[in-house]
Structure 1
Amino acid sequence: MKIITTCGMGFGTSLMLLMELQSIGAKHGITIEGEALDISSVHGQNCDAIFGSNEIVKSLDGITVPVVGIKNILDKAEIEAKLLELIKSTGSEKG
C-alpha cells in the first residue's frame, strides 16, 4: 500500500506521520510504502491514500483517493485506528 503524508513543508509532521504509519503497518503485517510531501506537491501523485492533520487535509480539493485526517498526530491509537479502518474499507491486501 502506498500512502502519501502531507504537511505544510513536507519534512516535519508528514515525515513523522509516515514513519508511524509504517511502524503500525509492520505490526499488522502490512507493507506501507510512502512519501512525505508538502501540501502543494500532493496533487497528481500515484498513491492509495493521503494522510495529514485535519487542518491540512481540509485544503485538499479534487483528490480521488481516500484522504484521512488525523486530529492529533501524536496519538498512535488514533493513527492506528484510522489506518486499519482505511485498509478494511478499501480491501487492501496484507503484505
Structure 2
Amino acid sequence: MKEALVACRTGMGSSMMLKIKVEQVVRENNYPIKVHHDTLSAVNQFKGDLLITLEDLVPDVKDKVKYVIGIKNLMDKEEIKSKLNEFLEVNV
C-alpha cells in the first residue's frame, strides 16, 4: 500500500476538494493508495510515497518528497487518474 499526502498552503479549501476527488479515483480504480490530508508545512514530516498538490505549488515542494504530482484542475478526475497511473507505473 502506497501512502499519499494531499496538501495545499492552508490545508482547507482546495486540498480538501482535491482529496475528495483523489479518493474517488483511488476507489473507482482499486489503486493501492491510502490518502492523507494536511498543509504544505506537514510535508517535511511526511514519510510516505507521494505528494499530491496543485501544479503551481510543485516548485515549493519538489525537493522535499520522493514523488510529487501537480494537478492543474482539481475537479478533473481524468487528469488525476492519468497522473496516478504514471506514479504507479514507476512505483509498484
TM, length-normalised to structure 2: 0.86
Q: Which residue does the alignment assign to 1:22?
A: 23
Q: Which residue does the alignment assign to 1:74?
A: 75
The percent of aligned pairs where both chains have the same amino acid is 25
Greater Cα offset, 56-65 or 11-20 = 56-65
- Structure 2: runs of 5 or more not aligned: none
Deviation at 1:9, TM superposition (A): 0.5
Deviation at 1:2, TM superposition (A): 1.2
- Count, aligned residues: 91
Is the partner of 1:14 in helix, strand or coil?
Answer: helix
Q: Matches of 1:32 and 1:22 in 2, distance apart? A: 9
Deviation at 1:34, TM superposition (A): 2.1
Confirm or deny: 8 A CA contact 1:11 1:36 kept in the other structure. Answer: no
Corresponding position: 1:59 with 2:31 = no
Q: Which amino acid aligns with 1:30?
A: Y
Q: Which amino acid aligns with 1:28?
A: N
Computed over aligned residues only, the root mean square deviation of the Cα atoms, in angstroms, reads 1.5
Greater Cα offset, 76-85 or 60-69 = 60-69
Normalized per residue, which structure has more helix? 2
